[in-house]
Structure 1
Amino acid sequence: MNRVELDTRKLNRKILNVYWLIIFLAIIIKLINYNFTDAPLGEYLIYFVAIPGVIGALIVIGSEVAVRLDNPVRDFIVITAGLLIALNFIYSRPDLIIVKAALFLPILTSGAYFKKKIIIYTTVLTIVSYSILSVIDPMLRSSIGVIEHFTLLAMLSIAALAVIGITERGLELTEHYRQSIEDQQDLLVKNTLMEKLSKTDSLTGMYNQISFHQYLNELLAHHSQYHFSIQMAIFDLDNFKQVNDTYGHRAGDEVLKQIAELIQKEITSDDFAARYGGEEFIVLFVGKPMERTIILIEGIRRKIEGISFRVLEGSRVTVSIGVNEYETGMGKEAFFEKADKLLYSAKRNGKNQVKTG
């Protein structure tokens, strides 16, 4: 399983903010707790408030410096700082059993990194550090029995196992979520590709016959409201069967692709071009006067006539074109049929020409 690498800079900043808050709250609690002790005020403030507070602040400041310098082991330093803060609390009040719960702070915090090695490092360091402190501090040693001591260590180990389990589950869910997102993206790409393939001609990349009829239906629906100009031009290559018979279908396909590219290059962004089938192309010219459209079509015809096709050993091809302008109320079928009749009129009258009506 691929693990998600987290950027821990923001996490470390949040943890350090929590450390500052813990130190501040600890000072407030200790000041309030003075009312329940018999210690002299001056001694209490120095040994139970000021010294632990300053030590805690120095620990966090050291971690702040490591994080700002982008130390490569900054995560371990921040976690270690949490342990030192916990030990500082315990050392300052070893008589209070509840304070020993602070040992769970670094272990629980280590889980936020979602790294098993950090959790294990924190747990081992916590157990070893507390055990050493118990040996060297007689007050701490006398405040808790041997059974209680080992019970606490066992609870720390159990807490670590629980944090590892939660972390592993979190990583599994994160990986599952990431994989789900990738699957959705793949599906979206495939659907987009399938939609494009269903609308375009595989050889030329132009829209296909189905797309043409869908677009024409929408265009005529808009025309009934806004009454903009529409012209339909049907292009048909002259004697194309002879090209295929002489040079082969692969050469014929190359000719079709080059002509499709030329047509799409010459028309404007408002126009719509499609391969209608075989050697026929249709272009819908939108928002132009008929005179402007004729100029564009004549330009395309001359450029096609001027191409010396390498796949045809330098031979040229010509195209016949029928152009018709839509009239309100004409209807789709009549619009198409008139352009088609004009095309065949161009064919009968010698080919390589534009017929309008």
Structure 2
Amino acid sequence: MGHSGLDSKKLNRKILNVYWVVIGLAFIIKLINYNFTAVPLGEYLIYYVLIPSGFGLIFVLFSELSVKRMSKHIDLIIVLAGLFIALNFIYSRPDIIILRSALFLPILVSGAYFRRNIIIFSTAATIVSYSLLTLVQPVLRTGISIIDQFTMMAMLIIAAIAVIGIMERGLELAGHYRQSIVAQQELLVKNTLMEKLTKTDSLTGMYNQISFHQFMDELLAHHAQFHFSIQMAIFDIDNFKRVNDTYGHRAGDEVLKEISDLIKNEITADDFAARYGGEEFIVLFVGKPMEKTIGLVEEIRRKIESISYRVLEGESVTVSIGLQEYEAKSGKEVFFEKADSLLYDAKRNGKNQVMTG
């Protein structure tokens, strides 16, 4: 089991910060404890304060240096630093039984890395180190019974088992969380694709007829409040049935895609383009003077006429366009009918032209 999801640098920094706090608090507590001892001040400061605190500083400083200069086994070094800090506390005051609980420090620290092997290593190192300490420290050697020794080791093993259990539960929850996130992302993608399919035309990528009517309803509702200009242009490809009958529907599809791409590239971000059905396209121009929109629509018509289609053996196609400006309070149906009527006027009057109202 790894801990790739963790930010190792931040984790190491936090653990080292904890060590600094522990060393600082221990120094302060030792100074306060002088009031409760009969040891002479000089002896107390040297043997109970300065020397133990000095060793603690050395352990933490070595860890700090390792983090900066080494790239491997930093986690083991930091765990061992916690073990040495704990052993230092016990060795300096073996008469204080509660200090032996410091042995849980390296085991708890190892759990932060979410790796079973580090927890097992720290537990084994702690048990071995504590056993050796009881052999070299006279007070511990004579003051701890075999039963107490085994009890302490058993408590350390139990602590390790508890940390492993917590770690595995945490990894399990993290796995469920990741699966949930992936599932949500997949659902979001599917919903986005479904929404796109329901709103766009699969051939051209333009918005479809349903989206056009939804957008126009919202646009006219805003127009009632802010009174900006709106024009509707309906494009219809001239003689498109002949294109399909002569060159086939695949060729017709290529023509539709190329014209739709041209329209999308020529209009602005404020405008809205849709394939209304068959060979018809509709564009709603927003916030432009009628004269500017006429010029833009004429430019689109000329560019469509100038395209030479490979699928049509070099032939070109033309479009007829009806362009109508929206009149306040006329309503969507009247607006559409006027633009559609102008389109048919363009068809009847020879095609390949723009009729405006």
| TM-score (normalised: structure 1) | 0.94
Query: What is the CA distance between 1:53 and its match in structure 2?
Result: 1.6
Residue of structure 1 in register with 2:65 after alignment: 65
**Correspondence 1:280 to 2:280:** yes
Q: Which amino acid aligns with 2:284?
A: L
Residue of structure 1 in register with 2:203 after alignment: 203
Residue of structure 2 in register with 1:10 after alignment: 10
Residue of structure 1 in register with 2:85 after alignment: 85
Change (3 A) 1:41 1:323: closer
Identity across matched positions, percent: 72
Deviations 1:69-92 (A, max 9, x none): 244222111110111111111112
Query: What is the CA distance between 1:4 and its match in structure 2?
Result: 4.2
Deviations 1:250-300 (A, max 9, x none): 110000000111111222222211110000111112222222222222222
For residues 174-193 of structure 1, the aligned pairs below 5 Å read 174-193=174-193
Q: Give the conservation status (yes or no) of the 8 Å contact 1:343–1:355.
A: yes
Q: Which amino acid aligns with 2:76?
A: F
Runs of 4 or more, structure 1, over 6 Å off, are none
CA RMSD, aligned part only? 1.8
Structure 2, unaligned runs of 5 or more: none
Q: Which amino acid aligns with 1:211?
A: S
Query: What is the CA distance between 1:211 and its match in structure 2?
Result: 1.0
Distance 1:59 1:7 in 2: 23
Q: Give the conservation status (yes or no) of the 8 Å contact 1:97–1:143.
A: no
Change (3 A) 1:325 1:38: closer
Other structure's SS at 2:269 match? coil
For residues 138-217 of structure 1, the aligned pairs below 5 Å read 138-217=138-217
Q: Which amino acid aligns with 2:333?
A: E
Query: What is the CA distance between 1:336 and its match in structure 2?
Result: 1.0
Q: Give the conservation status (yes or no) of the 8 Å contact 2:3–2:114.
A: no
Distance 2:152 2:161 in 1: 14
Q: Which amino acid aligns with 2:187?
A: L
Q: Give the conservation status (yes or no) of the 8 Å contact 2:3–2:113.
A: no
Distance 2:269 2:134 in 1: 82
Change (3 A) 1:6 1:277: same
Structure 1, unaligned runs of 5 or more: none
Query: What is the CA distance between 1:3 and its match in structure 2?
Result: 5.7
Change (3 A) 1:302 1:160: same
Deviations 1:97-127 (A, max 9, x none): 2221111111112111112111111001001
Query: What is the CA distance between 1:345 and its match in structure 2?
Result: 1.7
Moved more, 116-125 or 25-34: 25-34
Change (3 A) 1:96 1:326: closer
Distance 1:282 1:187 in 2: 32
Residue of structure 1 in register with 2:136 after alignment: 136
Q: Which amino acid aligns with 1:220?
A: L
Query: How many residues were matched structurally?
Result: 357
Q: Give the conservation status (yes or no) of the 8 Å contact 1:3–1:171.
A: no
Other structure's SS at 1:95 match? coil
Residue of structure 1 in register with 2:319 after alignment: 319
Q: Give the conservation status (yes or no) of the 8 Å contact 1:209–1:275.
A: yes
Moved more, 298-307 or 283-292: 283-292
Distance 1:37 1:25 in 2: 19
Distance 2:31 2:256 in 1: 90
Distance 1:24 1:287 in 2: 69
Distance 2:2 2:297 in 1: 58
Query: What is the CA distance between 1:347 and its match in structure 2?
Result: 1.5
Distance 1:43 1:94 in 2: 17
Change (3 A) 1:42 1:323: closer
